[in-house]
Amino acid sequence: MNGRGWLLVVFFLVLGGLAAGYLTWQAYTLPMSASRPVVPQEREVSVALVTVGAEETRQVHRWVPGTIVANAGDTVILTITNTDPEGAHGFALPGANVFVPEIPPGQTVTVRFLAQRPGIYLFACAKTGCAPDHAEQKGQVVVLGMP
């Protein structure tokens, strides 16, 4: 084999090595559809009990936001404000052992809990008889993750 023949052999050997390397790299790379692993974080969320309506008998009280989302493993620091100028309300999230029996008008309370397991956890006003629509003062914490 002459010098040119050896050059071709070396060229194809290098080309084959690059192709093998590329195929191996592709085999060990996550496909585009795979999601990144979730790293637990501290998540600060504000929630407020908001009053809508001028007439006392027709007032509507709701938690805003009504849905709070966290990832399993996150520590949630919840700042709860009662913006109702006239009545006290409470906050209960039984799935996370959070219970604040009373938040006076205009006051804010901060609680902290670990979102341990994926699921939907309901929260509600903890002060029975706070308003005619007490039973409607509900919300949910959605904890995402693989069960």
Binding site for Cu ion (CB under 5 A): 89, 125, 130, 137
Least spacing, CB of residue 52 vs Cu ion, in Å? 14
Least spacing, CB of residue 70 vs Cu ion, in Å? 23
How would you class 45 by CB atoms within 10 Å of its CB: exposed for 0-12, middle for 13-18, buried for 19 or more?
middle
Of the two residues 115 and 130, which places its CB atom closer to Cu ion in the complex? 130
Hey, how many other C-beta atoms are within 10 angstroms of the C-beta on 80? 23
Least spacing, CB of residue 100 vs Cu ion, in Å? 11
- Tell me how far apart the alpha carbons of residues 51 and 60 are, in angstroms, rounded to a whole number: 6
Least spacing, CB of residue 61 vs Cu ion, in Å? 6
- Contact in structure between 93 and 63 (CB atoms under 8 Å): no
- Contact in structure between 63 and 48 (CB atoms under 8 Å): yes
Of the two residues 89 and 143, which places its CB atom closer to Cu ion in the complex? 89
Return the SS3 of 22: helix
Hey, how many other C-beta atoms are within 10 angstroms of the C-beta on 35? 6
Least spacing, CB of residue 87 vs Cu ion, in Å? 7
Of the two residues 70 and 126, which places its CB atom closer to Cu ion in the complex? 126
Of the two residues 63 and 70, which places its CB atom closer to Cu ion in the complex? 63
Of the two residues 21 and 101, which places its CB atom closer to Cu ion in the complex? 101
